Amino acid sequence: MSHDVYESPLAGRYASPYMLHLFSPDMRFQTWRRLWTALARAQHDLGLPVTEEQVRQLEQHITDIDYDTARQREKEVRHDVMAHVYTYGKAAPLAAGIIHLGATSCYVTDNADLILYRDGLVYLRGQLLAVMKNLSAFAEKYAATPTLGYTHYQPAQPVTVGKRAALWLQDLLSDLEELDFVLGSLRFLGCRGTTGTEASFMDLFDGDEAKIDEMNRRIAAEFGFDACFTVCGQTYPRKVDARILNCLSSIAQSVYRMANDIRLLQHDRQLEEPFEEHQIGSSAMAYKRNPMRCERICSLSRYLMADAMNAPMTASVQWMERTLDDSANRRLSMPEGFLCADAILRLAQNVTDGLRVNEKVVDKTIREYMPFLATENLMMEAVKRGGDRQQLHERVRVHSMAATARMKDGEPCDLLDRLAGDPAFGMTRPELDRLMDPARYIGRCPQQVRALLDRIAPLLKDARSADGGVSL
């Protein structure tokens, strides 16, 4: 690593070895060569003047890229694809004259991008499932553990720790469904010529359209695609990029929501993200245990959600059959979108794998508010004993305001004593205490968690743990 040249933090700190390799120059330019080889092989098999020996020589020189030659040639011709055609021809001189036959630059640039994006999405799918697997285990373990619910970030009716995790999990399931849709709808560009008309191949194949279709089918199949776009210009539709980055943004939104909830709950130590033995929380405040991993998830997620705006803006300004103002933007926005999604999911795996529930704190927090949370149920019980619901509601309101005012002065909550002393309720303090068990008020939380886990369980076999260590 050079220390006097800028390096993207996504590469230096956050992304996995797999994703860094996927978008490396070696992977990109070797894929170009594989595409040129596949084109030559298909042309040979379909009767064009491309020899088996030429194809074989191309196959032998896919990985030995002379970057110095390519770099120098690009300086001369100002064209990256033609620089690599030249360099490949130097390595495979017998085939130099047939490399890129009938093709335009987008044959290698766009098809290679589609291959890399497809492989990146498949990898991220495994990472997403790994987060879901961790959350599934967490939700199952705490499915019936009562905790204080919040609406407007104010105390509300009880839920369970597992049910809250199930909310996060359901968002991720939605992301998985979207990702699978994007993967299932990907198409190959194929070799379509300068404006997508395939006119060059009509000349090469003497108007034999069946051979043109077969050539594209063979090339697509070699790279794992079962179909090409029906029509296109010089490039594949840039709406594909918008769909991909929107999918990655959706994952960021979901994980952001989870991480933000954990940050809020770590405030009073109900939940805590992992914290290593020698980890330092603050350079000055040595006692600090900050939710820095969740904060990093939120930070990277904001970047990814903003990055996703590049693709729709680019897709909307593609002039006619081709314009080049997409190129520089896509070189940045697409790989960095993948690297960022990778980083987010790796961090999310780490957090969900070691997420700690401080059950005594959780119980103490909910019990502090139970007298208020149980008032609706107390009213129902009092009505069963002959009380007037509207009158009881007013008495609860008056007593609750008085008890709250007392708590604001630092005194303990005396709501139950007030209700026990109110003849409208006709209930003793021991009777009221028996109604304070938080488990009475969680409704169907355990059953809801189980229903979601049953739905997700068959999917988790494809979960894939993070590749390499996670910089935290």
Residues forming the active site: 152, 282
> For the purposes of burial, counting CB atoms within 10 Å of the CB of 181, is it exposed (0-12), middle (13-18) or buried (19 or more)?
exposed
Rounded-to-integer distance, Cα 240 and Cα 228, Å = 13
> For the purposes of burial, counting CB atoms within 10 Å of the CB of 210, is it exposed (0-12), middle (13-18) or buried (19 or more)?
exposed
Rounded-to-integer distance, Cα 451 and Cα 176, Å = 18
Enter the tokens of residue 84.
């690599």
Q: What is the dihedral of CA 123, 128, 131, 137, to 10 degrees?
A: -110
Rounded-to-integer distance, Cα 231 and Cα 148, Å = 55
Rounded-to-integer distance, Cα 146 and Cα 448, Å = 14
Enter the tokens of residue 168.
């996060």
Rounded-to-integer distance, Cα 207 and Cα 438, Å = 78
Q: Kindly tell me the sign of the dihedral angle through the C-alpha atoms of 171, 173, 179, 182.
A: negative
> For the purposes of burial, counting CB atoms within 10 Å of the CB of 405, is it exposed (0-12), middle (13-18) or buried (19 or more)?
exposed
DSSP string, 8-28: -HIIIIIS-HHHHHHTSHHHH
CA angle 163, 165, 171 (to 5 degrees): 105
Nearest to 101 by CA among 191, 206, 183: 191
Nearest to 343 by CA among 291, 304, 307, 289: 304
Enter the tokens of residue 65.
């890229």
DSSP string, 278-337: T--S-SS-TT----HHHHHHHHHHHHHHHHTTHHHHHHTT--TT--STTHHHHHHHHHHH
DSSP string, 356-407: EE-HHHHHHHHHHHHHHHTHHHHHHHHHHTT--HHHHHHHHHHHHHHHHHHH
Number of other residues whose CB lies within 10 A of the CB of residue 267: 9
Nearest to 31 by CA among 56, 73, 65, 55: 65
Task: Output DSSP code: residue 147.
Answer: E
Q: What share of the chain is helix, strand, coil (3-state, %, to 5)?
A: 65, 5, 30
